[in-house]
Amino acid sequence: MASKPNEKRTFQTLSNNDNQRERSGMSVYLEHVPTQSLPVTTTAASRCVKFALVLIAAISTIVFQLWLPSTVTVTDILGESTPCAGAKDFDWYSLEPSRDIRWTSCYSDQKCARLLLPLDYDIPDGPATAIALRIIPATDKENYRGTLLLNPGGPGGSGTEFIARRGIDISQIVGGSYDVLGFDPRGIGATTPAARCFDTESQWKLWELQRDTRLLNLTDDTVHIARAREKLLTARCEEKIGGEWGIARFAGTHLVARDMLEIVERLGQQKVHYWGFSYGTVLGQYFAALYPQKVGRLIIDGVFDAYSYRANIWNTSLVDTDAVIASFFQHCHHAGPEKCALWEPSPA
């Protein structure tokens, strides 16, 4: 089953050195903010240095992201502010992928697994993808309510890294009664096969550098450069991740929605509980449309109009901007002068 032709495919480009260790997730379309290296061979200290670099990179990309027709949420922008404390090395590739979920302890009190699912659900015994799963177990076991799946957005965002950044907060927000689960969608992060159009991180960075230094703009004399770059990139991606069994054909949103269902069923649960941000709201809407009977509790946060997304129009993303800002001031006012530095006697 191929991705539908119009579906906005995102290729997570990860460096792939011989040892498959040094990684940095970035996708061609939106999720340009570099993600942290997988904590595999890096030490906590070196990750802190990297974190600082990532922050700088993240700040410099905000400007870039703002002129993209995307729903960049605050989470996307601030999402990289991972505290270094507690960072622990973990080798995802030491986990044997399996068709049932076998949890292994990771990142101190969390659990990780790699779940094998068919690339093509019509060919269940054909080539598989190993989906990386990372969970923060529920703290309130007495009131246990199931597993909450997360998607941070992108498309191209890593759910396992999102757990590192926001998992504890989210676990607390939902009262500790859910296992909070981040998964790396097809092609992304520690999930294999990875959708990478470049062989190394340096290749990718050089490519991006040319864009970020504003070599390209919309003047007549540069449009042809932009076109040439798109053609090159397309050819590269076709070579690296295209083809009959290339991951590009099997990374569509509808398949990720099916993966979510499979994950939850393998956990022995009936309904999917889900919290998705930004592009994750598209994924949530796809899931609800495809499997309405399987929806438990579903939050879509920073909502992207899925029709507009799917039709590649993307013109509805700003329609609620004024209402969102008004709501921010309402809440800020409600929080009071102690907590809200912008507080005024009236929210308007």
Q: How far is the CB of 277 from ligand NAG (least distance, A)?
A: 22
**Strand 128-136 versus strand 178-183 pairing type:** antiparallel
The nearer residue to ligand NAG, 173 or 215, going by C-beta atoms, is: 215
Report the DSSP beta bridge partners of residue 194.
187
Report the DSSP beta bridge partners of residue 216.
none
Whole-angstrom Cα distance, residue 36 to residue 82? Answer: 9
The nearer residue to ligand NAG, 220 or 244, going by C-beta atoms, is: 220
Count of residues for the chain? 348
The nearer residue to ligand NAG, 222 or 327, going by C-beta atoms, is: 222
Q: How far is the CB of 151 from ligand NAG (least distance, A)?
A: 25
Is residue 102 within 8 A of residue 130, CB to CB? The reply is no
The nearer residue to ligand NAG, 141 or 214, going by C-beta atoms, is: 214
DSSP label of 316: -
Whole-angstrom Cα distance, residue 168 to residue 100? Answer: 25
Whole-angstrom Cα distance, residue 52 to residue 68? Answer: 25
Q: How far is the CB of 305 from ligand NAG (least distance, A)?
A: 9
Q: How far is the CB of 215 from ligand NAG (least distance, A)?
A: 5
Question: Closest Cα partner for 226 from 245, 254, 207, 242?
Answer: 207
In the chain, how long is the greatest CA-to-CA distance? 65
Question: Closest Cα partner for 247 from 158, 153, 117, 133?
Answer: 117
Q: How far is the CB of 252 from ligand NAG (least distance, A)?
A: 23
Q: Give residues in contact with ligand NAG (CB under 6 A).
A: 214-215, 217, 219, 222, 313, 315-316, 319
Query: Distances from the Cα of 313 to the Cαs of 24, 62, 76, in angstroms?
Result: 29, 22, 21
The nearer residue to ligand NAG, 245 or 307, going by C-beta atoms, is: 307
The nearer residue to ligand NAG, 6 or 219, going by C-beta atoms, is: 219
Which helix H or strand E contains 114, and what residues bound it?
strand 110-118
The nearer residue to ligand NAG, 71 or 191, going by C-beta atoms, is: 71
Q: How far is the CB of 236 from ligand NAG (least distance, A)?
A: 22
